[in-house]
Amino acid sequence: MVAKLVDYDEQRNVKRREVLERKKAIEGVIRAASSLKDHLSCFPQFHHCHKNGLHIHLESGRGNKLSLHVKRYVQDLLKLNMEAPYGPEWPAEEKIKRREMVSEEARYIFVHEISNKDSIEVSEFMGKSRTCNCRGPIIGFVHYRFIMEEEVPVVYVYELQLEPRVQGKGLGKILMELVELIACENKMGAVVLTVQRANSPAMDFYIDKLRYRISAISPSKVDPLGSQKSYEILCKTFDHEARVILEAAAQDTAVNA
């Protein structure tokens, strides 16, 4: 009996060490990804884009390095786009978002609109090692972070916001494709995000156009009262382990439908 207890304790200690080592490994991957100053540098093809009559320039940013002008822009665009979907929850949510947006962990990609005049300069620099100095007004951004979700390293998209006048022109798809590439480049298992259920256009965009799934960790999957929650957690996974953990319930639902 004593020998069995010793064996059990040893097995438990081995398991505990394995869990701690795995957690440290994931934290190391996240630290390495977060330490990079400019995730765009790996994808020069995204620095300048031309989509549906818009010339844009993308630029990286960090939450604790935002200028006062950019902070105000982010706050104003969040309010413009999100006050209606959040409804009465918005005043409390806005305070949370203002703290999140300036966090040291927050990473940004800003979309600058380039004038027709500057677009000529862009075309001259395309394919060359030099960089242009064009930088028009910001018309949108994506805010993302590298975190651990259910023991899976993921890119969590906190915000994807575009000015109403440039929505529906393919910019959101470009930004999400870039975020997915950044996730894969930095060995993340998935891209995860939260969407208000009342925001039907956003739900359709992620699920129908980008093929995201309602995650196994979303309230509607884990809580009998989850359908009463105002949001869903969506995900797109890139490896088997992430798929099992983050998509399992969503896949089961699809099979049983």
Tell me, what CATH number does 177's domain have?
Answer: 3.40.630.30
pLDDT at 124 over 50: no
Residue 200 within a domain:
no
Q: What is the pLDDT of residue 17?
A: 80
The total domain count for the chain is: 1
In contact, 77 and 161? CB cutoff 8 Å: yes
Instruction: Determine, yes or no, domain membership for 252.
Output: no
Average pLDDT of the segment spanning 149-158: 96
The predicted-structure confidence for 5-23, as pLDDT tens digits, reads as follows 556 667 777 777 877 888 8
The reply to whether 13 falls in a domain is: yes
Which of 51, 94, 55, 56 lies closest to 74, judged by CA? 94
Q: How many angstroms separate the CA atoms of 178 and 201, rounded?
A: 21
Q: Which domain holds residue 100?
A: 2-188
Q: Are 154 and 148 in contact (CB under 8 A)?
A: yes
Distances (CA, A) of 218 to 84, 121, 241: 22, 46, 18
Please say if the pLDDT value at position 58 is more than 70.
Answer: yes
pLDDT at 160 over 80: yes
Cβ within 8 Å of residue 198, ≥6 positions away = 85, 86, 87, 230
- Position 256 scores a pLDDT of 41
Residue 118 lies in a domain: yes
